């Protein structure tokens, strides 16, 4: 156990809790094994950064999105380390520059029927000659597909894989869209 192991504990969550605040780290109390006072989420993130830990998962390498649902921390590739988080942030920026909306739209135009996020991400990797794991292609492609969906060019055709908290905090593993 590290000297700065930061842990979070859930407080009572009201039924009408703000979902954004909930998944963003609210409704928790934070403490560090070193005894540093961590009054809120911001203090916990700062303490994680100054002790070389990922500010998203606070060094734990995973993320409890809602009580009982834990996933690998996407910000630090589940390492818990600040250095990896910073490298990954740069990679996200690089993916944003390399993968444009127009590019993804042109790939999507090849599909007549429904297609999966993973199929478009694979097509992007092939076109740009990117090995798997080199850049966060999936998250970038997902953002752009959601943008096309918001613009009315695509419609999501899959149901969520899991309802994490009612119908408002839901999980899609590999969603499908279709062109309108």
Interaction site with Zn ion (CB under 5 A): 4, 32, 34, 36, 54, 56-57, 73, 75-76
Query: Shortest Cβ distance from residue 39 to Zn ion (Å)?
Result: 14
Residue number with CB closer to Zn ion (92 or 179) = 92
Query: Shortest Cβ distance from residue 7 to Zn ion (Å)?
Result: 11
Name the strand (E) or helix (H) holding 48.
helix 41-50
Query: Shortest Cβ distance from residue 74 to Zn ion (Å)?
Result: 8
- The answer to whether 10 and 65 are in contact (CB under 8 A) is no
Question: Which residues are registered as beta bridge partners of 62?
Answer: 72
Residue number with CB closer to Zn ion (36 or 128) = 36
Residue number with CB closer to Zn ion (70 or 159) = 70
Residue number with CB closer to Zn ion (75 or 141) = 75
Query: Shortest Cβ distance from residue 28 to Zn ion (Å)?
Result: 16
**Cα 48 from Cα 78, distance rounded (Å):** 15
Pick from 64, 81, 1, 3: nearest CA to 36: 3
Residue number with CB closer to Zn ion (56 or 144) = 56
Task: Report DSSP letters for 102-164, one per residue.
Answer: HHHHHHHTT-SS-EEHHHHHHHHHHHHT--TTSS-HHHHHHHHHHHHHHTTSEEE-SPPSEEE
Bridge pairing between strands 28-32 and 176-179? unpaired
Neighbour tally for 76: CB within 10 Å: 26
Query: Shortest Cβ distance from residue 139 to Zn ion (Å)?
Result: 14
């Amino acid at each position: 156990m590290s000297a700065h192991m930061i842990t979070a504990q859930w407080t009572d969550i009201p039924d009408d809790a703000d979902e954004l605040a909930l998944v963003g780290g609210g409704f928790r109390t934070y403490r560090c094994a070193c005894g540093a006072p961590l009054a809120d989420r911001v203090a916990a993130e700062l303490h994680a950064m100054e002790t070389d830990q990922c500010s998203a998962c606070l060094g734990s390498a995973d993320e409890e999105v809602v009580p009982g649902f834990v996933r690998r921390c996407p910000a630090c590739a589940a390492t818990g380390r600040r250095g990896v988080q910073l490298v990954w942030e740069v990679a996200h920026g690089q993916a944003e520059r390399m993968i444009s909306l127009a590019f993804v739209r042109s790939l999507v135009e090849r599909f007549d029927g429904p297609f999966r996020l993973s199929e478009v991400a694979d097509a992007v990797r092939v076109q740009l000659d990117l090995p798997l794991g080199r850049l966060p292609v999936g998250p970038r492609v997902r953002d752009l597909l959601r943008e096309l969906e918001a613009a009315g060019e695509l419609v999501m055709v899959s149901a969520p894989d899991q309802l994490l908290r009612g119908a408002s905090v839901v999980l899609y593993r590999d969603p499908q869209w279709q062109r309108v």
